[in-house]
Amino acid sequence: MIDRRTVLLSSMAAVAASLLPVDGEAKTKIKRTRYNVSSEKGQKMLAIYARAVNKMKTLSDQDPLSWTFQWFIHAAPTDKAVVINEVYGNVPSKNRDLALASWWTCQPHSKGQPGDYFLPWHRLYVLQFEEIIRQVSGVAEFTLPYWDYTNPAQYSIPPQFQKASMNDPKWAPLFVIDRNLDSSEDQTADVNAGEPLNKYYPGDENPLVLPPMAGVPYSEFCDQLDDNLHGMVHVLTGNGETNMGVVPWAAKDPVFWLHHCNIDRIWYNWSVLGGKNPSETGGTNWQDIHFVFPTPQGTAQNPSFSSVADIATLPYDYEDLPEPPAKTSVPVAALAKPLLVAQVTPEAAAKVSTTQDGIALGDQPITLPLAPVVQQQAEANSRLQATGGSAQRVVIILKNITANENPGALFKVYLEVKNTADGQSVRRYAGVLNFFSLIKHGSHGGSDPHAGHAMAGDASEDVTFDISRLVQSNAISADQLAAASVTLVPVGKVKLGSAPQIKGGIEVQLR
């Protein structure tokens, strides 16, 4: 994060007219429409994009309009100070200063950055990139198309990015070889062959679904979108080494931008449905949270989060918006705060863990019984029963997840509930734990304390799975919920030494 205190580029920022929305700006900015990549207009925009990508890849890495420069704004494969010196050496220059201020500022994938920063930072990033494409292509009307992967017709990567296009002069700039291959062990599809990303996730286990939207507070919506759908598209597309599956390499892939355009579209829709964005995070006003991005002229702009918080002032809209998930039943008496229903006890965790301070995740499935929080059980039961077995929202929270590095495996999460009729346990899918957004990268480069690097990451974060529809459709009572178990099933091999753990336990809450 770069606040108003930024000195390095203050003079440059003063003379550069921001092409992004400005705080307090009159609502006269031209609104352009972003199109579905599969639509006729989306295809025209994609052709412009492919030509621009090709040109950007020929530019010097030192050029702010180059593909590498834009990629490194998100993150880079090595320490920030190292990569700056690799590209620019030690010779001072305007572009070097711009890189120092703007590279490796992806939020919240650096240590210490709040989860609330994920959506506004990426909105700014995509907006400035769209302006760069207009400059490079010479097409002022260009808008970035979006890949609507929650639509069953678009579960596969768009055809122009696939292997079939690798020798096509028009579309070849969009193809990269290091995407996932078909693997039953890792449960990944052959992405470049056009197989659906969710090939190994049939029916209810499909991870390419929208998060709950209507009535969900910003922070919870942002975290669930980031940790679940957003992260799963990354790891199901990339190979986990040098592409979409890991933060330092993600923005190298041209499909990254269509992915994040769609993430922004989902946030846009949350706002349309009545969601209210915060005006501050952690006591810092969004108007005072600034980041540096290059303008198409290669100078600096320093927009704030508040400049993109109101969709009415954005310079774009979308061709269509996703159909939001149906809202679960509203409780008769909503509580002012979340209600803890059940949790995994330390004794239960100790039976399956090889560590003293957490629940170790390894190559074997583990099942952890929940224990009811007795003092709240009557209230929870009353609240669920009054609504036919459903609260407004019911969530499973894996608390304080840590890892030394990306474990390279996923973990399917299931709720196991005993039927009231026969007492038999039934396993219900809750979601998939992925580590794309959990691995945080440290700051070891330059003067920017929020810059990251790609080495020795770690994770420390809660991950929430909304199981409201599961509870509602199966009429699960509070008694059943409190006596349930949570099972985690690994997908793929856990990387040696990565040591993924759930240090804070597991909770079930009503919200």
* Cα–Cα distance measured from residue 295 to residue 132, given in angstroms and rounded to the nearest whole number: 7
* Cα–Cα distance measured from residue 239 to residue 249, given in angstroms and rounded to the nearest whole number: 10
- In the chain, where are the structural domains located? 10-316, 339-510
> Look-up: residue for tokens 């239960």?
348
Beta bridge partners of 360: 501
Which of the following CATH numbers is that of domain 10-316: 3.40.50.300, 2.30.42.10, 2.60.40.1260, 1.10.1280.10? Answer: 1.10.1280.10
Asked if the peptide bond before residue 108 counts as cis, ω within 30 degrees of 0, the response is: yes
Asked if the peptide bond before residue 77 counts as cis, ω within 30 degrees of 0, the response is: no
* Cα–Cα distance measured from residue 416 to residue 335, given in angstroms and rounded to the nearest whole number: 26
- Torsion angles phi and psi, residue 479, rounded to 5: -65, -45
Burial of 351 (0-12, 13-18, 19+ CB in 10 A): exposed
The string over 207-226, giving b where at least 16 C-beta atoms fall within 10 Å of a residue's C-beta and e elsewhere, is bbebbbbeebebebbbbbbb
Note whether 10-316 and 339-510 share their fold: no
Q: What topology does CATH give the domain 339-510? A: Jelly Rolls (2.60.120)
pTM for the complete prediction?
Answer: 0.90
Number of H helices, E strands in the chain: 14, 16
Nearest to 262 by CA among 222, 308, 230, 310: 230
pLDDT in tens, the chain (511 residues): 333 323 333 333 333 344 566 555 544 568 999 999 999 999 999 999 999 999 999 999 999 999 999 999 999 999 999 999 999 999 999 999 999 999 999 987 766 688 999 999 999 999 999 999 999 999 999 999 999 999 999 999 999 999 999 999 999 999 999 999 999 999 999 999 999 999 999 999 999 999 999 889 999 999 999 999 999 999 999 988 899 999 999 999 999 999 999 999 999 999 999 999 999 999 999 999 999 999 999 999 999 999 999 999 999 999 999 998 877 654 434 444 677 888 998 888 888 876 667 899 999 999 999 998 865 666 666 656 555 555 578 899 999 999 998 999 999 999 999 887 777 889 999 999 999 988 876 443 433 433 333 333 445 689 999 998 898 888 888 788 888 999 999 999 999 999 999 999 999 988 8
Angle, vertex CA 453, rays to CA 451 and CA 454, nearest 5: 150
Residue 122: CB atoms within 10 A of its CB come to 21
Contact in structure between 50 and 171 (CB atoms under 8 Å): yes
